Structure 1
Amino acid sequence: MATIRDISKLLDLSPATVSRALHDPDSPFVSAQTRLRVQEAAARLGYVPNASGRALATGRTHLVSLWINDPYTPYYAMVGRHLYAESERRGYHPVVRAVSTQSEQATVWQSPDSLADGVMALDVRDPLRRCLDTFPRLRKPIVGLGALCLETVDHVRIDLKQGSIEAVQHLVETRPGRIVGWVFRQDDPRTAAYREVMAESGRPSEIVLIPDEARATNRAMAATYIRDRGCPDAFFCQNDDVAIAVYRGALDAGYRVPDDVAIVGCDGIEDAEYLPTPLSTVVHPVDEMCRIAWEFLTNRLNDPTIPLQQAELPAHLLRRASS
């Protein structure tokens, strides 16, 4: 099996330069041309990195544990793709954990978490808090990201409230009648934004608390709600998955989007753009969030003593044909 020394002899480079070219994509000591030569030689010789040896030599495994609320939904899958791309660009291998936000039990610190150099925690504020309460001596670098971040660790928060205010104001300005808030929780910035704008406009709030965010559930609920209560002028929805379901429910009940009812979602997933009537949505700055989160993790790995790192990014309304 080829080694770093084999590559260094072939290219007449030092083993340290070859190692940096292969394992440290951000190293300022290796030019792009040299890095490409090393990568091509490694492929030609069949070089396979020795992860155990590399960890012993550097003190790092180059693994990162990704805690994700629900990695199988379109939004979290989208964020996961961005985190994967950032991880690989920086020479790290991500390990995904699906962490439930519904259970009250403490999140168990698992073997991949112990092996990882750090943890990225996406919208798992409460499970992370319980985990740190249970294991107070943990010293692993942790970065929270998303709308729900634990403030005692480094974090990149998305401000959903301002973008949601823009969305509800848009509906108030363009629709004269009932506007329904189709939401999952009362203690949520989207719900707070809806209540605030409706109160300022002098219109009554009409909140529907949904039992879950599944499309099938919300499609059936929306159709029944419209048939029983009449069709409102607009729906402001918890997220794009729910908005897609409400869209289908309105069609099932015999109403057209946007002629009869306007719909606005939240997240900015790709699916929302490809409906017959593309959905307006509150777009999250996912690319920037993931990039800054990785910068925070890198900073913390390089110097564990730096002060708490915090960033807040605004979400914004993207108007499409549905509203």
Structure 2
Amino acid sequence: MQKVPTVYDVAALAGVSIATVSRVFRKPHEVSQATQDRVHAAVLDLGYVPSGSARSLAARRAGAIGLCFPDFDGIDGGPAPIAYADGPVDAQLDPPEGVEPSGDLYISEVMLGTELEAWRHGMAVTIAVARGERGTEIFDNLAGRVDGMVTLSRTVPERLLAHIARRIPVVVIAGPRAGDEYDHIGTDNVAGMQAMTKHVVDVHGIRDVAFVGGPADSPDDHDRFEGFRAGLLAAGIVAPPEPLLRGDFTRGHGRILGRRLVEAGPVPRALVCSNDQTALGVLDALLAAGLRVPDDVIITGFDGIDASEMSRPRITTVRQPMRELGRAAVDTLLCRLGDPLMPPQTRTLPVTVLLRESCGCLA
């Protein structure tokens, strides 16, 4: 194995001091272009890679942001062993009701926004999933390796989150502030669902409206149901104390709920779903049962994921800026790192109602 080149080797080959080499990497604007060219040529010639740990120690920063989400895929055990190729390619039938699609499309968009904003500021993103019994351990370990943490509301126990926040800044996505001192980023769930409900009642003249919810401990679901109730009450319709049914925000569970509605019958004239994945699953079940959407049943969702625009009919939904949630979380975290004493921030991003075929608009 060849000797690993050091900063001293680069300085010697380029004919400069090690301090100059350091400035080329950290403050290139302080070094002439000719000197930068000599240093970079020496780096390429030697195959030198700057030590990230050494630079972190010098700057007292890790240069990384931690991103922690809950276990949305429902995998409790570890992954199956990898099977390496040792024979012919297998061909299998793939029926439409086979493996249920993942329910993490919302998370994927938030993650992308986080990565984009971190990249823009020259930061890395370390991602962890708080899965199973080791979730809190993983979260704690991650916190020791990053400059700040972005996490979805209720991903980890409140006591652990408070413990982490004593060491590094914490930004929480979704969920209302509950007497804590963290920075919060969210969208206007209440107003968005109230506007959607008002559209179904006022524009389409439907009073037989039911809410198909998500997990009872979801802050987003709670706010969306409150917006649904507010929309009904504003129209003089008695608002139910609880959703008609609850799922887990996945399309697979949405199908199960849709089948229950068909079996119980009659299906309400309009179903306002707490998220797009649930709405898509309900749509699958109703169409399979021979019901027509929107002629027999109106269906609406919330999130604005791509799949809601590719269904037939397309799902009327409330689009929230999922990617911007991630970007705003990183921006807020960097502001906190620059000014640790600023007051706790709460940022609420706007939403937009997208009227499509599943409610009868554009049909």
> Which category of TM-score, normalised to the shorter sequence, fits these structures?
0.7 to 0.9
Given the alignment, which residue of 219, 225, 231 partners 1:191? 225
Distance (Å, rounded) in 2 between the aligned partners of 1:8 and 1:87: 34
Given the alignment, which residue of 210, 233, 245 partners 2:281? 245
Task: Give the aligned residue type for 1:179.
Answer: V
| Correspondence for 1:298 | 334
| Correspondence for 2:86 | none
CA contact (8 A) 2:143 2:164 kept: no
Aligned pairs for 1:112-261 (under 5 A) are 112-124=142-154, 127=156, 129-133=158-162, 135=163, 138-147=166-175, 151-177=180-206, 178-184=208-214, 185=216, 188-205=222-239, 207-261=243-297
Give the match's secondary structure for 2:295. coil
CA contact (8 A) 2:110 2:324 kept: no
- Structure 2 stretches lacking a partner, 5+ long: 74-103
Q: Deviations over 1:164-202 (max 9, x none)?
A: 111111111233331110012387011111111112212
Tell me whether 1:50 sits opposite 2:51 in the alignment.
Answer: yes
Distance (Å, rounded) in 1 between the aligned partners of 2:195 and 2:177: 22
Task: Give the aligned residue type for 1:217.
Answer: H
Give the match's secondary structure for 2:171. strand
Measured at CA, do residues 58 and 136 of structure 1 come closer, stay the same or move farther in structure 2, by a change above 3 Å?
closer
Distance (Å, rounded) in 2 between the aligned partners of 1:106 and 1:55: 26
Give the match's secondary structure for 1:56. helix
TM-score (norm: length of structure 2)? 0.74
Task: Give the aligned residue type for 1:81.
Answer: L
Q: Deviations over 1:51-103 (max 9, x none)?
A: 21111121111122111134651111121121122222322222222236x99
Give the match's secondary structure for 2:249. coil
Distance (Å, rounded) in 1 between the aligned partners of 2:330 and 2:269: 42
Given the alignment, which residue of 15, 18, 24 partners 1:18? 24
Tell me whether 1:287 sits opposite 2:330 in the alignment.
Answer: no
Aligned pairs for 1:84-103 (under 5 A) are 84-99=115-130
Task: Give the aligned residue type for 1:286.
Answer: M
| Correspondence for 1:66 | 67
| Correspondence for 1:80 | 111
Distance (Å, rounded) in 1 between the aligned partners of 2:40 and 2:293: 54
Measured at CA, do residues 48 and 260 of structure 1 come closer, stay the same or move farther in structure 2, by a change above 3 Å?
farther
TM-score (norm: length of structure 1)? 0.82
CA contact (8 A) 2:172 2:183 kept: yes
Q: Choose 287-296 or 236-245, whichever is displaced more.
A: 287-296
CA contact (8 A) 1:71 1:77 kept: no
Measured at CA, do residues 239 and 7 of structure 1 come closer, stay the same or move farther in structure 2, by a change above 3 Å?
farther
CA contact (8 A) 1:63 1:94 kept: yes
Distance (Å, rounded) in 1 between the aligned partners of 2:191 and 2:320: 11
CA contact (8 A) 1:181 1:236 kept: yes
Distance (Å, rounded) in 2 between the aligned partners of 1:269 and 1:309: 27
| Correspondence for 1:25 | none
- Structure 1 stretches lacking a partner, 5+ long: 23-28
